[in-house]
């Protein structure tokens, strides 16, 4: 997707893998990517989890890459038969799959006489322009970028390393700041005042999340915005409302 440099960039995370949908594996990449992207001023606007089925992956890649500034995929780039992400990405872009010479060199250097055809599948990338390897300092086999799609491993430590490798190349937007305030006040008691405060601060997104600590219900309010002063004012009003309801507001770190 091409968008104007003045529009805040957007992103989608595409989690590829039967193991996430079957409940075998707890996904840990979405939370990490959401936090890091927010810090870069890139709005994570959607995430999808799709099974290891070619047509479903191709369809999701094409739906997302035209809609968002960046797409980050996780999973399916290992050496085994169930790792089908690369042929699917290639198909989504209408390209052939080739073995990338630099990736092959890295893998041969790392695996030595343990190099085999299965491991060399990890050197495969879509053919053509706009493809760049993404370094993997954890387990060598690289990820890659093709146009606005970044293809990462599913193993969280490797996905993180790959994200950090590309982060400096991403076009960020104004950073989104946030601050929280928590109190043992129930959501239903503070809801009307929260709605009023939200109305007074249209450029601050005020989220309300119930919690249970020491067997007592409470509410965590999170204000998110590119406007630090707006956050501070909104959070001060929420804290005051919490105090008026008998709560003892605990403020999170200033944005």
Among 178, 201, 238, 247, binds a second copy (CB under 8 A): 178
Closest distance between a second copy and the C-beta of residue 93, in Å? 22
Q: Choose between 131 and 238: whose C-beta lies nearer to a second copy.
A: 238
Among 104, 132, 135, 187, binds a second copy (CB under 8 A): 187
Closest distance between a second copy and the C-beta of residue 130, in Å? 27
Among 38, 245, 250, 251, binds a second copy (CB under 8 A): 38
Q: Which stretch binds a second copy (CB under 8 A): 15-23, 86-94, 161-169, 227-235?
A: 15-23
Instruction: Provide φ and ψ at 217, rounded to 5°.
Output: -75, 145
Nearest-angstrom CA–CA distance, 186 and 219:
6
Closest distance between a second copy and the C-beta of residue 34, in Å? 3
Closest distance between a second copy and the C-beta of residue 131, in Å? 23
Among 16, 33, 92, 103, binds a second copy (CB under 8 A): 33
Tokens of 4: 């104007």
Nearest-angstrom CA–CA distance, 97 and 87:
6
For the segment 61-100, give every residue that binds a second copy (CB under 8 A).
78-83
C-beta of residue 11 within 8 angstroms of C-beta of residue 37: yes
For the segment 107-166, give every residue that binds a second copy (CB under 8 A).
111, 114, 116-119, 121-122, 155
* Interacting residue ranges for a second copy, rule: CB under 8 A: 18-28, 30-38, 44-52, 56, 78-83, 111, 114, 116-119, 121-122, 155, 176, 178, 187-192, 194-195, 198, 205-210, 222, 224
């Amino acid at each position: 997707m091409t968008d104007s440099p003045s529009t805040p960039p957007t992103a989608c995370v595409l989690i590829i893998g039967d193991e996430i949908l079957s409940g075998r594996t707890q996904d840990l990449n979405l939370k990490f990517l959401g936090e890091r992207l927010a810090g870069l001023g890139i709005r994570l606007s959607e995430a999808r989890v799709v099974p290891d089925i070619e047509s479903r992956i191709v369809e999701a890649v094409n739906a997302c890459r035209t809609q968002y500034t960046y797409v980050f995929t996780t999973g399916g780039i290992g050496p085994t038969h169930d790792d089908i992400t690369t042929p699917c990405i290639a198909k989504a872009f209408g390209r052939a799959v080739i073995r990338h010479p630099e990736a092959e060199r890295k893998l041969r250097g790392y695996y030595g006489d343990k190099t085999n055809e299965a491991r060399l599948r990890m050197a495969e990338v879509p053919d053509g322009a706009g493809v760049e390897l993404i370094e993997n300092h954890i387990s060598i086999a690289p990820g890659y970028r093709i146009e606005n799609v970044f293809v990462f491993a599913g193993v969280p430590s490797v996905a993180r390393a790959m994200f950090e490798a590309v982060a400096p190349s991403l076009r960020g937007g104004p950073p989104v700041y946030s601050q929280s305030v928590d109190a043992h006040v129930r959501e239903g008691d503070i809801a009307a005042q929260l709605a009023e405060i939200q109305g007074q601060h249209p450029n601050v997104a005020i989220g309300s999340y119930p919690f249970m600590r020491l067997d007592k219900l409470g509410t965590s309010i999170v204000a998110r915005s590119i406007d630090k002063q707006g956050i501070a004012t909104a959070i001060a009003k929420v804290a005051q409302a919490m105090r008026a309801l008998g709560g003892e507001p605990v403020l999170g770190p200033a944005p």
